[in-house]
Structure 1
Amino acid sequence: MSKIIKEVQESLINLKRVKPLVHCITNYITANDCANAILAVGGSPAMADAIEEVEQMATQAQALVLNLGTIANELVDAMIKAGKAANKAGVPVVFDPVGVGATNYRKESTFRLLKEVKFSVIRGNMAEIKVLCGMESNSKGVDSVEDVKEDAAKDIARELAKKLNTVVAITGVIDYISDGERVITIRNGNEMLTRVTGTGCMTTALIGAYLGGGSSPLHCAVAGVATMGMVGEIAFDNLKENQGSGSFRVSLIDGMYNLKEADFQNVGKINE
């Protein structure tokens, strides 16, 4: 068994032992799915975004998840307040810069957050991560239409992780996760994941749940991304005739609930 497989298995053990409170400031489109994903793997979600309470909630939690999906000025202010409080309390923070390249407002808000808050993990698709690198990117709304060769993708993940002193997780057909030194690739997943809204947001929430268990940010990022890819494969294989994206969505949560340590070895396509 490889070193990284053992590390992600330990992350799942820690998550289920701690049962962390995961504070999410996320978008209204996927909040319910993110909460259910956290519950399914063994965490406890708190979906609090009122600016009057986010600091207190963030310091009570074991992890904080910030998602840029449906933003407004007050929500960005709330994210910064929560992020600063979490940083001061030693609570790990994961950031999802949804659609950062789609509008100037999203880009300005993202770089404001990067300036004000220290993130343990940043997860995005290739188009989003390229924007954070200051590179030209191709997107359609909040979706990436990038096609980057594997070696170049690894370099992008590694260099941004070094630049921001964080773990960077790039999700797509192949996933790339780096802490600036190590680079992990994951080849799990199914095309049906693109037919259900919020699977990226749920992946970020899963990373937050693993972070709440106390494992290292790199291990938690790999565990969260691999979890979504693996349950995506399992959910698709379990579809019956005439079942589609609605049944698939429910089956994703079932897969998270039934996730076992052995799945990372038996189903996971995780390599370093």
Structure 2
Amino acid sequence: MNPDIIQQVRNNTPLIHHLTNQVVMNFSANGLLAFGGSPVMAKELREAADMAKIADALVLNIGTILENEIEAMIAAGKAANEKGIPVVLDPVGAAATSFRKEVIERILQDVRPTVIKGNAGEIASLVNADIQTRGVDSIGEGNIDDIAEKARKQFDTAIVVTGKTDVIYADQKLIYNQTGHPLLSSITGAGCLLGSVVAACLTTSYPVGEQLRTALSFYGLAAEHAAEQSHVQGPGTFLPSFMDALSFTPKQLNGGTEDGI
């Protein structure tokens, strides 16, 4: 983890435009604020492109996608590409239904994401690999390294495959992250908020692989720190502690070690 990436985010307070999951808007906004970014949620087609033009990064998350929101995502994505700002694409539940997979295919026809981030089942579905899924969750196993590399080659972008060990393919190499805590899977929107944190880190001046590793390492350390608090008994008490931890420095999360993981 590079602590300077976190510090740059907090110095610059990047504006992150979200066209995201209806279920997680409040959580994503508050989590990004805690981390040091500035959220804006704008899904109306008539303003989506204009909002992207004034933002520092864009998150496209299809978690609760409706037909009339697809064109807004494409418009925002094209505007972000024209401006040259990072785009994080989160294909939530892409393996669950043909509609969701078609939505991602439509977006990718016109938008060049900086990063595609999803669980193993979601990324596997985009490259027609076989991993068992249930709804928006991945429950099977497969060769995640191969899936990440295949997705990187097919879409010519960085790939993040989240799981017990997160796999990143960026800067022509595989990178792994093992920070995190099982309680993250017990709260709604943990993966969606991670997309917001990733987008904020992508606004800094470092290589993409280093930005992604830092975002995932910090996020996982924040979860570990929150879970270790004596008052945390389960998901309900974990959530506010996790929100607090997102505002901490890497040194505070990492036992006083400045360099992090």
Please tell me the TM-score bracket, short chain as reference: over 0.9
2:26 equivalent to 1:32: yes
State how far apart, in whole Å, the 1-side matches of 2:64 and 2:238 are.
24
Partner of 1:227: 218
For 1:235, give the aligned amino acid. A
- Mapping of 1:9-24 within 5 angstroms? 9-24=3-18
2:249 equivalent to 1:259: yes
- Distance of aligned partners of 1:40 and 1:10 in 2 relative to their CA distance in 1, 3 Å threshold: same
Q: CA shift at 1:269, angstroms?
A: 8.2
**Once superposed, what is the RMSD of the aligned Cα atoms?**
1.9
Is the deviation greater in 28-37 or in 256-265?
256-265
2:36 equivalent to 1:46: no
Partner of 1:181: 172
2:120 equivalent to 1:126: yes
- Mapping of 1:97-116 within 5 angstroms? 97-116=91-110
Partner of 1:249: 239
For 1:236, give the aligned amino acid. A
Q: CA shift at 1:32, angstroms?
A: 0.7
Instruction: Give every structure 1 segment of 4 or more consecutive aligned residues whose post-TM-superposition deviation is greater than 6 Å.
Output: none
1:157 corresponds, among 132, 148, 155, to 148
Partner of 2:141: 147
User: Which of the pair has the greater relative contact order for Cα pairs under 8 Å at 6+ separation?
Assistant: 1
State how far apart, in whole Å, the 2-side matches of 1:266 and 1:194 are.
27
Task: Tell me the matched-pair count.
Answer: 260
Is the deviation greater in 45-54 or in 178-187?
178-187
CA contact (8 A) 2:61 2:192 kept: yes
Q: CA shift at 1:63, angstroms?
A: 0.2
Q: CA shift at 1:249, angstroms?
A: 0.9
Q: Which runs of 5+ in 1 are unaligned?
A: none
Report the secondary structure of 2:58's partner residue.
strand
Partner of 2:189: 198
For 1:76, give the aligned amino acid. I
2:201 equivalent to 1:210: yes
CA contact (8 A) 2:88 2:113 kept: yes
Q: CA shift at 1:268, angstroms?
A: 9.0
CA contact (8 A) 2:218 2:250 kept: no
State how far apart, in whole Å, the 2-side matches of 1:101 and 1:201 are.
16
State how far apart, in whole Å, the 2-side matches of 1:216 and 1:18 are.
18
Report the secondary structure of 2:59's partner residue.
strand
For 1:234, give the aligned amino acid. H
State how far apart, in whole Å, the 2-side matches of 1:266 and 1:132 are.
39
Q: CA shift at 1:259, angstroms?
A: 2.9
- Distance of aligned partners of 1:27 and 1:268 in 2 relative to their CA distance in 1, 3 Å threshold: farther
CA contact (8 A) 1:161 1:168 kept: yes
For 1:119, give the aligned amino acid. P
For 2:51, give the aligned amino acid. M
Q: CA shift at 1:240, angstroms?
A: 1.7
Partner deviation per Cα, 1:72-92 (whole Å, 9 max, x = no partner): 111111100000000011111
For 1:19, give the aligned amino acid. T
For 2:212, give the aligned amino acid. A
Q: Which runs of 5+ in 2 are unaligned?
A: none
